[in-house]
Structure 1
Amino acid sequence: MGSAGQNQGARGGRRLTAALCPSASEQARLQASVVEEDTEEWQKDSSFAGLERVGGVDLSYIKGDDTSACASLVVLSYPALEVLHEDCRMVAVSTPYVAGFLAFREVPFLVEAVQRLQREQPKLKPQVLLVDGNGLLHPRGRTSLESPALQAPRAATRDACSLVSCSDSDWLLAGFGVACHLGVLTDLPCVGVAKNLLQVDGLVRDELHREQIRSLRREGDTFPLTGASGRVLGMALRSCKNSSKPLYVSVGHRVCLQTAVRLVRSCCRYRIPEPIRQADIRSREYIRKQLCSPPEAVSSGPERKNEAGLDD
């Protein structure tokens, strides 16, 4: 095929990609609304004076079933970190997983939980959300022209989208993770907190990265996650003295990175910030009670672990 034919084929492939997975254009639209700076008065105070309620969200799946999950929103007092509100509900996750677009699969349930709290108990609405996942430290959701969905389109759009995967180059650019998505849709300050590093914009888990982790000797020590583009996408944080494993903190919405790191550190009794920890504990316990099952019956879901940097 000549260059003209190749170009025409590529353009046609891109149009087909967009038709199969409209999430790409919607993600770009939402991404334009992300605010990467502090917007609240309490954020500007060294001790966060004025901050009274911090929320944590989580989605836990029934092991072996990636369509049944418990969506959890927990609101804690600040700085005491006592639980003020808990909302755990079983949800049917029907949207197919597409690499780079995990938020479209999970965020609607978390938005509903925030909106439900706003309607029923507005005085308990969190002033900031901590999310088990990433914000700007995330691959940009793009679809690959080499995907099986484009080679053999399925009749149903959702089935076709479920086959789309990102090419290697698609995962090199900074993007729009679940913390950004949730923050924009709820218009709340939002922070992404992940356990593992995503390889974005040249960031890799190599020996240099491991050496940087070893340099985090004290609680509160950090180092910036600077991509090949020169942009700082997040911060590695040693959140407590009893764990040498860092957290990877990134901006979600309406907060700057420095404030996000300070807030996460101030919410840690253990390695994981208490709002996220409580949301995870309570969602898993809710599933166990619903199923009368042992702890191993609950999972974070394989795609959540891959994309959000989670561990079971």
Structure 2
Amino acid sequence: MSAPPPEDLVQQWESEQARLRQQVVEEDTEDWQTSPDFSGLERVGGVDLSFIKGDDINACAQLVVLSYPDLEVLYEDSQMVTLTAPYIPGFLAFRETPFLLEALQRLERNQPNLLPQVVFVDGNGLFHYREFGLACHLGVLSGLPCVGVAKNLLQVQGVYKSEEHQSQIAALQKGGDSFPLAAASGKVLGKALRSSDKSSKPVYVSVGHKISMDTAVRLTHSCCRYRVPEPIRQADCRSREYLRTHFPAADT
């Protein structure tokens, strides 16, 4: 049976996103989320996919779990995977989520005591064309609180890299400072966060699932030693290292 043409696939995926979008919870659901110092939070996860340069099919799917608040690695899982879904902008989750979900399910089966209480995703959540990015998708399917943290601004729903946006970035004085990313409708879809005193370039934080916007920003800042929150940074570093070790001839 041949794959459906892209138009059919896009319609199918749009319908699936709309269905799952109804299940997103945009508020705090866990006791630790409302604590000033996140008391009760012990494990934070990070996920990422890294590709061999020039190959957009074979990737290393990475899950790490760090202790909180010390941010020491408790668990890591590196798995080579073959992506089967095509890349279509706005639908990245359909390519990547199955493998990230498998990693979480593997951990839950084998070492459930290490399952993260929240997962940081290298990508967007509600800050998305249809308010359902990778962090939302993974959150709804896993049932875990998720936070989307993107390194680059997705220009979407009336948010642009304009002069005003640049001046707002320049006004972020210290780590922890942020400003809202409001859609043309006025709804705040995410926040630009200066995550570290050492980095003036912000990250873009948005709700994935089972967490509020303010808590997501506060938690992201508390997990940053550098610009990128440590769970995502460790997932990225370890997946790249895995590729370097197992595919030394390839330039990653």
TM-score by length of structure 2 reads 0.95
* Cα distance in structure 2, aligned partners of 1:268 and 1:293: 33
Residue correspondence of structure 1 range 133-148 to structure 2 within 5 A: 133-140=123-130
- Report the counterpart of residue 37 of structure 1 in structure 2: 27
Identity of aligned residues (%): 65
- Report the counterpart of residue 24 of structure 1 in structure 2: 14
| 1:263 aligned partner, one-letter code | L
- Report the counterpart of residue 143 of structure 2 in structure 1: 187
- Report the counterpart of residue 39 of structure 2 in structure 1: 49
Residue correspondence of structure 1 range 1-312 to structure 2 within 5 A: 17-18=7-8, 21-140=11-130, 175-293=131-249, 297-298=251-252
* Cα distance in structure 1, aligned partners of 2:73 and 2:180: 32
The answer as to whether partners of 1:97 and 1:105 remain within 8 angstroms in 2 is yes
Which of 1 and 2 has greater Rg? 1
Structure 1 portions without partners, runs of 5+: 1-15, 141-174, 299-312
Other structure's SS at 1:104 match: helix
Cα distance, 1:17 vs structure 2: 3.8
* Cα distance in structure 2, aligned partners of 1:112 and 1:248: 26
Cα distance, 1:219 vs structure 2: 1.2
- Report the counterpart of residue 3 of structure 2 in structure 1: none
Q: CA RMSD in A?
A: 1.2
| 1:63 aligned partner, one-letter code | K
* Cα distance in structure 1, aligned partners of 2:67 and 2:183: 35
* Cα distance in structure 1, aligned partners of 2:246 and 2:120: 26
TM-score by length of structure 1 reads 0.77
Cα distance, 1:28 vs structure 2: 1.1
Cα distance, 1:293 vs structure 2: 3.6
Other structure's SS at 1:228 match: coil
Question: How many aligned positions are there?
Answer: 247
Deviations 1:238-266 (A, max 9, x none): 01111100010000000000000010000
Deviations 1:167-192 (A, max 9, x none): xxxxxxxx210000000000000000
The answer as to whether partners of 1:18 and 1:25 remain within 8 angstroms in 2 is no
Cα distance, 1:20 vs structure 2: 6.4
